[in-house]
Amino acid sequence: MNRLLLAVGFLICLPLFGQAQEIRTNEKGEKIIVYSDGSWRYFNSNDNTLFGSDGQVHEQELIPTDPKEREAYLEEKEREKAVLLANQAAIELSRFEDKYNQLRKARLSIEEELAEMKKLGGSKQSIDDLKGDLDQAKEKEETAREEMEIAGDLAELAEEMIEMKRKKRAKSMDDFEEQYTLLHGAPTVNEPVETEVTETTGEQVYSLNPGRFAKYDPDLDVSINPPKPKCRLQFDGVDEFSGKQRRDTEMELFFTYTRDELRPYLKGKEYVVCEGQLTTLSGGLLFLSLEFTIASKTAQQSFGGLQKGSLLTIKLMSGESVRLVNSKTDFGSFNAVDETFTFRGQFMIDPSQEKMLNNGEVDKVRVNWGAGYEDYEVFRLDFFRDHLRCLYED
């Protein structure tokens, strides 16, 4: 979730029906109902009563508990908040531009006055006083120019974050906060969010006032991100072919991809689904196994399969790239029931690449298919870090 949300955490306000339900206040001051399974709904803020005539809590919106549906829901909500942030950043840029222009005019006015004073033969003291005023005016103008440039960078970054995916938007907040601190000083984390109401819409918007900017970390919000379960290995024993000790992590979703024009025809399915796992063998060998499921009867012709020796390029958020080589050819297998093709690849990871993947976060991957390459955006940024932790966890 967008880390610009200024939060004071979830506060339990009133329990309902023992421990089955609880009314809480979220980071925006909205009433929500949290259930024992971690799901939650908005409490109807337009109703002043806690219970209706039927004795039930009034609710107006369901937060999905299905991971994919919840991700889509949160993505839409966070995009709306990003739009508000971009609007506020643009307003703040305008204020800094006005401030700079005013100070520039003040400096020009003093320069004209000084020139006129010299022309008229004013006293040395008067001229020196104006020179001192001019030096101060220049200093203030330069400071305002620097602030205006930072505000411009903030506005540009905020605009870009509108179209970013949720987790990447959260990562971009690191840059935003760094520039914001340059402009306003260190954030005050313990102070509550300051909001203001627009005159035209009556809508609350988040203020960027100094001293009110605090970081909200969704990873610490158990109502949205429950604690991760303990790692479970798919296999932990002796490999029957090599005789070496082998460990496999469970196959998990790595990324999905669907072109917008295909969505109406896929009825909720993803066009490309990639799942992955890591395998380690005694002796220091580490492999990445990927399984691509493509919802097309013609995927074999369109993609051409995975060739032995083809590259998988993993681009990290840091800008670094890790290039892995496929060790086997696979032209795919067809599933007549759901009309999909599945392609499998296996890629060896050397120690230096393992270190990069463990320390980095995944941005994109480029898959070299037999028919050409395609780039896919990855939302599971910590995929390798999590799987490596599971492999080496006692």
pLDDT of residue 27: 63
pLDDT of residue 128: 84
Residues (pLDDT < 70) of the chain are: 1-24, 26-31, 33, 35-66, 185-230, 394
pLDDT of residue 213: 38
Nearest to 347 by CA among 388, 292, 288, 281: 288
pLDDT of residue 22: 62
| Phi, psi angle pair for 24, to nearest 5° | -130, 170
pTM for this entry: 0.47
pLDDT of residue 237: 92
Residue 275 · residue 282 · CB < 8 Å:
no
Residue 107 · residue 134 · CB < 8 Å:
yes
Nearest to 79 by CA among 180, 167, 196: 167
Nearest to 24 by CA among 50, 37, 43, 48: 43
Paired tokens of 116: 């006129």
